[in-house]
A and B are shown apart, each in its own frame.
Chain A
Amino acid sequence: DIQMTQSPSSVSASVGDRVTITCRASQDISSWLAWYQQKPGKAPKLLIYAASTLQSGVPSRFSGSGSGTDFTLTISSLQPEDFATFYCQQANSFPPSFGQGTKLEIK
């Protein structure tokens, strides 16, 4: 199985900041990576798939990049509603696997 490792596990930032979260796969997954956002008590929400394709309705301040084993999620200018936990997920091979999550907190 492919292991996904996110860093950092948590990060504190302020409204307006630029934030980057990293995800590393234990083997090459090409561009087959997705990012989800989960707010407390809510279901996850798909943000990005195929490493950099923004899901319909997701604000353009979210962007994704990377290929192979190293990927990043960037939020260009944090908004109050962005504080949540973010998960990466490899979508290349079965079984799919999630990273452990990165909690984005308000500084």
Chain B
Amino acid sequence: EVQLVQSGAEVKKPGESLKISCKVSGYTFTNYWIGWVRQMPGKGLEWMGIIYPGDSDTRYSPSFQGQVTISVDKSMSTAYLQWSSLKASDTAMYYCARRLLGYCSGGSCRTLYVFDIWGQGTMVTVSS
């Protein structure tokens, strides 16, 4: 069974650093992109960025570029999302998700920015 299991809820103070994790199982970690999505309390979904564990190629949404760092540990089949200095506005639920491998139709295939399997989410609360 394909699973993405995220680390537990965190409560931090502004200015602190944090690294949350997403451990995958049930498939070859290095073959699929893994992304992160933010959901602030009572709000919608925001696409943050994505990483390819095979070579650590990473792409960030402009809104999150420079605000967070996405990384992987291939030996642990785990992806990470980290902050160097948290702000109260980082309070949110964070989801990791696996990118759909591809879409094929009429003999041609392409990749899509679609997530087919999601982790359960990690709630991050930043408060003084």
B100 A49 Cβ-Cβ under 8 A: yes
Choice from A32, A43, A92, A97 contacting B95 with Cβ under 8 Å: A43
Q: Provide the A13-51 mask, 1 if CB < 8 A to any CB of B, else 0.
A: 000000000000000000010101010000111100110
Please determine whether B95 and A44 come into contact, CB atoms closer than 8 angstroms: yes
Chain A: residues with Cβ within 8 Å of the partner, total of 25
A98 touches B46 (CB 8 A): yes
Per the 8 Å Cβ criterion, residues 41-62 of B in contact with A are 44-47, 59, 61-62
| A91 x B44 contact (CB < 8 A) | no
Are A46 and B114 closer than 8 Å at their CB atoms? yes
A50 to chain B: closest residue by CB: B103
Q: From residue 17 to 72 of chain B, which have CB atoms closer than 8 A to chain A?
A: 37, 44-47, 59, 61-63
Complex CA gap A38/B44 in Å reads: 10
Residues of A within 8 A of B115 (CB): 44, 46
A95 pairs with B120, CB closer than 8 A: no
- B103, B105, B113 — most chain A CB neighbours (10 Å): B113
Q: Using Cβ atoms and an 8 Å threshold, which residues of chain A touch B63?
A: 95
- Known contacts: A87-B45, A98-B47. The answer to whether A50 contacts B112 by CB under 8 A is yes
Residue positions of B touching A, CB distance < 8 A: 37, 44-47, 59, 61-63, 95, 97, 100, 103, 105, 112-116, 118-121
28 contacts between A and B (CB under 8 A): A1-B62, A32-B112, A34-B114, A36-B45, A43-B95, A43-B118, A43-B119, A44-B37, A44-B45, A44-B95, A44-B97, A44-B118, A45-B118, A46-B100, A46-B114, A46-B116, A49-B112, A50-B103, A55-B116, A87-B44, A87-B45, A89-B45, A94-B113, A95-B62, A96-B61, A96-B113, A98-B47, A101-B45
Q: Taking beta carbons and an 8 Å cutoff, which residues of A are in contact with B?
A: 1, 32, 34, 36, 38, 43-46, 49-50, 53, 55, 87, 89, 91-92, 94-101
Sample of 17 further A-B pairs with CB below 8 A, known A1-B62, A32-B112, A43-B119: A34-B112, A34-B114, A36-B45, A38-B45, A43-B97, A43-B118, A44-B118, A49-B100, A49-B114, A50-B105, A87-B44, A94-B59, A94-B61, A95-B61, A95-B63, A97-B47, A98-B47
